[in-house]
Structure 1
Amino acid sequence: MPLEIFQSILRQLDRLLVYFNIRPFGLLFPKSVTRSFNSTNHHVVPPTPIMRPLHEFQREALALFTEPCNIQRMSYMSSCLRREYVKKLKSGTECMLPSFCHTLPTGQEQGTYIALDMGGSTFRVALVELSTRSGDDGGMKIKHMTVNKINEHIRRLPAKAFFAWMAEKIQDMLHQCRDSQTPQDETIAIGLAWSFPIEQTSHQGGTVQPMGKGFRAHEDVIGQDLGNLIEIACRERGLDVRVNAIVNDSSATLLSQAYKDPATTMALILGTGTNAAVYLPVKDLSDDKFGMRDHSWFEQADKVIINTEVSMFGKGILPKTRWDEELNRAHSAPNFQPLEYMTTGRYLGEILRLVIAEAVESNQMFSGLMPEVLRDRYTLDTAILAAIEEDTTMGCISSSERIQKEFGLFSLPTTAEMAFLRTIIEAISHRAAAYMATAIHALWSLEHGSPVEGPSKTSVAANGSVVLMYPGFRTRCQKYVAELIAAGQPSTSSGCKHELVIEPTNEATILGVAVAVAIADAT
């Protein structure tokens, strides 16, 4: 504590020495504003920051985060988002993208399928059994699965070696479960969730695009069919496989929950990033959205699963604080994903870090010393926010010890500092839940633009660390959605009840891929 007091005194002395560009005692101090050689202006001294109690700043920050989170304002934001959705359903190539999945599962599909999930850090290969939705497990069971880590060596593999590695892992999994109900001496139907850009050309194919995330496998095969590349690599290892379905994670999540619950027509991914899928009439989209699709597809399709890329929406609609603006300005892609920057695991911690930086500078939080570990962007893990929110100990003593350790503080945070952190964290996460609920409600309203007679239920398949594991997040989001629906109900429709339920999913991507293959086999 004496050292902290001494350092605080030095910071106060620094303000008195603002005219001098010096660094007493070896500490770093702000430089004074000096005049250039060609300037005729007098030397300008920057104003000394006005100190105010931490609780006053806490009150201001709380208001900035929570003021937009009332149902009247959220209803207006939902209406604005809905108009943006409708506009993008008619134009643009970056969002509201129709898949080739025009049929939802009946829940009666049966069989054993190979499901692949290629992500940025793991490649999962699973044997999935579907046995109709009447079973206790919802009719879906992972009988065997291998998880293969993707290191820097794998990321740098050229195309031929990369797809050969994939084929090797598929073969390894099949060898491990020889006694299971795997097809013998016949073509093996597989499905793939591909977490990278792809220009899809059919339910089972699409052309490779630059992958990003440090991968090089695309470099020699851009424009080639992804399904064919996998099949060729497998044949070279003696595996007779056929890629029957390629889907993204949001579509797979929707399909997995729809197999268990026929009321499922939406999916939400909310973890490090966010996305959503929705099942809408084909007529809601412009012809240009479908590209050069075969006429036979349109003869079968009444509705289609749409990859919304919902993270891109919200600019000029969702209110921002000055910390959001600061985050956006410093981002490598400012304004690209407005909703994502205020709701997801990658950014919630960064928003708090920016608030702490201001509190340290202008309110002497942590004795006016910014923790060294928080000086760089994205150094505050959202897991710390979750730990503080779920800490029920007196005075948050459990999380205060973690804060001291993680932030490298000389002593435990004060009671006032912990109260400040908890208040701001709750405000940030509540706003994230409110904004996500608003985006979901706006998507739901595309399906329910006019009153429907009788009760109506829509299930939203939910996947991702924030919506599934952040304390209280899904409950808050669900509450906001229910209030938004109630606020939009005509006073005369007392007998008509609409319900939107956010349903947590488990292993949704891998299970959804198997469902996609089963649907392809049935058509």
Structure 2
Amino acid sequence: MLTGEVRTRVEDIEKQFSVSEEFLKKAVTFFIECADKGLKVKNDPEALLMIPTFVTSIPTGKEKGVLLAIDLGGTNFRVVSVALNGDHTFDLVQAKNPIPVDLMKGTSDELFRWMAEKIHDFVKENHSNAVESGNRLKMGFTFSFPIDQTSLDSGTLTRWSKHFNIPDCIGKDVVKLLQYHLDALKVPVVVSALANDTVGTLLARSYTGADKEGKTKIGCIFGTGTNGAYEEDLDNITKLPQSIRNELKAKGVRKMVINTEWGSFDNKLRVLPNTKWDEQVDKLSPNPGFHLFEKRVSGMFMGEILRQILLDLYREGLILQQYRTEDKLPHRLRTAWDLDTEAMSLFEIDDSTDLKASELKLEQMLRLPTTVEERVVIQRLTRAIAHRSSSLAAVPISAILLKSHALDGHNVNVDVGADGSVVEFYPGFRTMMRDAIAQTQLGPKGERRLHVNIAKDGSSVGAALCALSSEF
């Protein structure tokens, strides 16, 4: 349907977002190198962070108890009560609170006081007996940002990601910050475990999956951000002091869950693809130069990449030429982050006549009238961006399974627990990711023995499972 210069330009952009089999294999090899290095040393700019979590056991599905969990993620703060039934099932009550934008850039005291107030309200409503008796409830804290974790219930923030930027919080123990404000409000809760959302996903899927499709080897997030966790041999985590490893071994511990922080894979761009639009989005982000893998994969950034390309095509005189000057373009198209991945989901699968569904969405979301040709351009660009995202998502999953020899042996199947809006709701994301996995060193045979399953409420249930294993 596209003709002339527009068609040529769109095809050029599609090529820039294409991902080859050669690239995938090279990226998997480099990921393994970065992971191995990250297990040995701290503060190497080319290594993955590979954060030891001090989670040393994986659930069996027989655990019981009632616990609290909280999840500070990308846009919402969730407070959850989890009742583990001991039969791979759980009951959950939750309250979801949108995080005020001003708190994402304020002070640590403002953010953590607000969180404590929400926990107080939740406990008062759902656990009044604990309030009256003074019996303290265990709570797991899912904190989805890079931390330097020194025990199961302590960790200092190393840097923010997503839309957060609270400088005075860097270097502080986030558990102590929250506990201080809980105690100030006399909330009968003790923060007994700190977990990244991806660690929670691994534990939650292990609890509910019950090895139906193989043991759960990876927990991963593909939503506002992206990250993954897996279980590593203690002997390989040599950056942990020998004294700590010896102490754990004396207790019979042989493995520990590692939070890879793979969103920051290849911040030096040694193998990752890089376009001018990636660079523009990076400059707009709160943490330029960091989390460059995440900025090519996760839901927070896909829509902004599309918006940047559309602006360039307008400036090149190829689309939206009814607007003679850029300041006449609809305000929302000129506003960073106003084109979201949810809209891209619709563009991706729109098969209506003349893409009428996309036309309505663009008018509703961006106040942007479009021609049929412009909507075809938007759909093709959407598909190129999403295909690159899902293909890159295959890299860390393939690398970890290869590194951990998870698929070694005959008739071995493995499970990957996944959470996040992109992997759960973006049309075809899991299928495209699996297609890319088949092109890595795992090959089609390895891909067929891999099962990617959604771990619903993974981060919250997983945080509760972390809290269950803690000493009160």
Specify which of 287, 294, 306 is matched with residue 340 of structure 1. Answer: 294
Inter-partner Cα distance in structure 2 for 1:327 and 1:236: 40
Partner SS for 1:305: strand
Partner SS for 1:353: helix
Inter-partner Cα distance in structure 2 for 1:275 and 1:380: 23
Q: Counterpart in 2 of 1:259?
A: 207
Q: Counterpart in 2 of 1:392?
A: 351
For residues 520 and 394 of structure 1, do their structure 2 counterparts lie closer, same or farther at Cα, with a shift above 3 Å needed? same
Partner SS for 2:361: helix
1:405-453 CA distance string (max 9 Å, x none): 54444xx53332222221121111111101111222112211128x722
Does the Cα contact within 8 Å between 1:112 and 1:182 map onto a contact in 2? no
Specify which of 89, 109, 114 is matched with residue 39 of structure 2. Answer: 89
Q: Counterpart in 2 of 1:39?
A: none
Are 2:314 and 1:357 equivalent residues in the alignment? no
Q: TM-score, normalised by structure 1?
A: 0.75
Does the Cα contact within 8 Å between 2:130 and 2:137 map onto a contact in 1? no
Inter-partner Cα distance in structure 2 for 1:165 and 1:360: 43
Q: Counterpart in 2 of 1:508?
A: 458
> Residue 183 of structure 1: CA displacement?
11
Q: Which amino acid in the other structure matches residue 13 of structure 2?
A: A
Are 2:66 and 1:107 equivalent residues in the alignment? no
Inter-partner Cα distance in structure 2 for 1:463 and 1:58: 32
Q: Which amino acid in the other structure matches residue 428 of structure 1?
A: I
Are 2:89 and 1:139 equivalent residues in the alignment? yes
Worse-matched range after superposition: 145-154 or 257-266: 145-154
1:213-256 CA distance string (max 9 Å, x none): 3658849xx65x55455555545555554332111111111111
**5+ long unaligned stretches in structure 1:** 1-50, 490-495
Does the Cα contact within 8 Å between 1:268 and 1:275 map onto a contact in 2? yes
Q: What's the % identity of the aligned pairs?
A: 26
Specify which of 238, 244, 249 is matched with residue 192 of structure 2. Answer: 244
Q: Counterpart in 1 of 2:153?
A: 204
Q: Counterpart in 1 of 2:27?
A: 77
Inter-partner Cα distance in structure 2 for 1:232 and 1:271: 30
Inter-partner Cα distance in structure 2 for 1:162 and 1:325: 30
Specify which of 398, 405, 409 is matched with residue 441 of structure 1. Answer: 398
Inter-partner Cα distance in structure 1 for 2:129 and 2:119: 15
Q: How does 1:171-250 map to 2 (within 5 A)?
A: 171-178=120-127, 186-196=135-145, 198-207=147-156, 213=164, 218=169, 223=172, 226-228=174-176, 230-231=178-179, 233-235=181-183, 238-250=186-198
Partner SS for 1:246: strand
Worse-matched range after superposition: 344-353 or 244-253: 344-353
Inter-partner Cα distance in structure 1 for 2:116 and 2:435: 45
Q: Counterpart in 2 of 1:402?
A: 361
| Structure exhibiting the larger radius of gyration computed from Cα positions | 1
For residues 438 and 178 of structure 1, do their structure 2 counterparts lie closer, same or farther at Cα, with a shift above 3 Å needed? closer
Worse-matched range after superposition: 294-303 or 433-442: 294-303
> Residue 104 of structure 1: CA displacement?
0.7
Partner SS for 2:60: coil
Inter-partner Cα distance in structure 2 for 1:233 and 1:92: 31
> Residue 201 of structure 1: CA displacement?
2.3
Specify which of 224, 234, 246 is matched with residue 282 of structure 1. Answer: 234
Does the Cα contact within 8 Å between 2:348 and 2:379 map onto a contact in 1? yes
Worse-matched range after superposition: 276-285 or 412-421: 412-421
Does the Cα contact within 8 Å between 1:456 and 1:497 map onto a contact in 2? no
Partner SS for 2:82: strand
**5+ long unaligned stretches in structure 2:** none
Q: Which amino acid in the other structure matches residue 248 of structure 2?
A: W
1:88-124 CA distance string (max 9 Å, x none): 2222337111111011112111111122223465443
Inter-partner Cα distance in structure 1 for 2:182 and 2:37: 43
Inter-partner Cα distance in structure 2 for 1:402 and 1:242: 46
1:56-96 CA distance string (max 9 Å, x none): 21222222222x2x434322322222222222222233711
Aligned residues: 451
For residues 162 and 481 of structure 1, do their structure 2 counterparts lie closer, same or farther at Cα, with a shift above 3 Å needed? closer
For residues 475 and 182 of structure 1, do their structure 2 counterparts lie closer, same or farther at Cα, with a shift above 3 Å needed? farther
Worse-matched range after superposition: 77-86 or 463-472: 77-86
For residues 169 and 282 of structure 1, do their structure 2 counterparts lie closer, same or farther at Cα, with a shift above 3 Å needed? same
Are 2:417 and 1:461 equivalent residues in the alignment? yes
> Residue 469 of structure 1: CA displacement?
1.4
Q: Which amino acid in the other structure matches residue 260 of structure 2?
A: T
For residues 75 and 368 of structure 1, do their structure 2 counterparts lie closer, same or farther at Cα, with a shift above 3 Å needed? farther
Are 2:82 and 1:128 equivalent residues in the alignment? yes
Q: Which amino acid in the other structure matches residue 125 of structure 1?
A: V
Q: Which amino acid in the other structure matches residue 236 of structure 2?
A: D
Worse-matched range after superposition: 263-272 or 96-105: 263-272
> Residue 174 of structure 1: CA displacement?
3.1
> Residue 54 of structure 1: CA displacement?
1.0
Inter-partner Cα distance in structure 1 for 2:338 and 2:242: 42
Computed over aligned residues only, the root mean square deviation of the Cα atoms, in angstroms, reads: 3.4
Inter-partner Cα distance in structure 1 for 2:451 and 2:279: 32
Q: Counterpart in 2 of 1:4?
A: none
Inter-partner Cα distance in structure 2 for 1:312 and 1:384: 26
Partner SS for 1:385: helix
Inter-partner Cα distance in structure 2 for 1:260 and 1:297: 27
1:7-26 CA distance string (max 9 Å, x none): xxxxxxxxxxxxxxxxxxxx
Inter-partner Cα distance in structure 2 for 1:434 and 1:65: 10
For residues 309 and 404 of structure 1, do their structure 2 counterparts lie closer, same or farther at Cα, with a shift above 3 Å needed? same
Partner SS for 1:448: coil
> Residue 129 of structure 1: CA displacement?
0.7
For residues 442 and 393 of structure 1, do their structure 2 counterparts lie closer, same or farther at Cα, with a shift above 3 Å needed? same
Does the Cα contact within 8 Å between 2:234 and 2:256 map onto a contact in 1? yes
Q: Which amino acid in the other structure matches residue 448 of structure 1?
A: H
Specify which of 387, 390, 397 is matched with residue 430 of structure 1. Answer: 387
Inter-partner Cα distance in structure 2 for 1:478 and 1:388: 22
Does the Cα contact within 8 Å between 1:112 and 1:181 map onto a contact in 2? no
Are 2:438 and 1:479 equivalent residues in the alignment? no
Inter-partner Cα distance in structure 1 for 2:388 and 2:159: 34
Inter-partner Cα distance in structure 2 for 1:395 and 1:432: 26
1:111-149 CA distance string (max 9 Å, x none): 11122223465443222111124xxxx41211x323344
Worse-matched range after superposition: 367-376 or 93-102: 367-376
Partner SS for 1:338: coil
Inter-partner Cα distance in structure 2 for 1:440 and 1:251: 15
Does the Cα contact within 8 Å between 2:53 and 2:258 map onto a contact in 1? yes
Inter-partner Cα distance in structure 2 for 1:433 and 1:165: 36
Q: TM-score, normalised by structure 2?
A: 0.83
Partner SS for 2:388: helix
> Residue 397 of structure 1: CA displacement?
1.2
Does the Cα contact within 8 Å between 2:390 and 2:432 map onto a contact in 1? yes
